[in-house]
């Protein structure tokens, strides 16, 4: 029973890390697009 809990915790951590990374990536893309728009004007 304890091992199942540990596995669940690991999976949750992996998902959390993935969401954090994808959010950072999305923010990076948005910032790059905004910079491109600013410098094109």
**Tokens representing residue 35 in the block:** 């910079």
The gap from C-alpha 7 to its chain's centroid, in whole angstroms, comes to: 21
pTM of the model: 0.58
DSSP reduced 3-state for 1: coil
Alpha-carbon distance 23 to 9, whole Å? 21
> In a structure prediction context, what are the per-residue pLDDT tens digits for the chain, which is 41 residues long?
689 999 999 999 999 999 999 999 999 999 999 999 999 87
At 1 the pLDDT is 67
The gap from C-alpha 10 to its chain's centroid, in whole angstroms, comes to: 17
At 41 the pLDDT is 72
Q: Where are the domains of the chain?
A: 1-40
Alpha-carbon distance 38 to 12, whole Å? 39
């Amino acid at each position: 029973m304890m091992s199942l809990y540990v596995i669940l915790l690991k999976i949750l951590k992996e998902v959390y890390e993935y969401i954090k990374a994808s959010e950072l990536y999305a923010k990076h893309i948005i910032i790059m697009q905004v910079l491109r728009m600013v410098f094109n004007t």
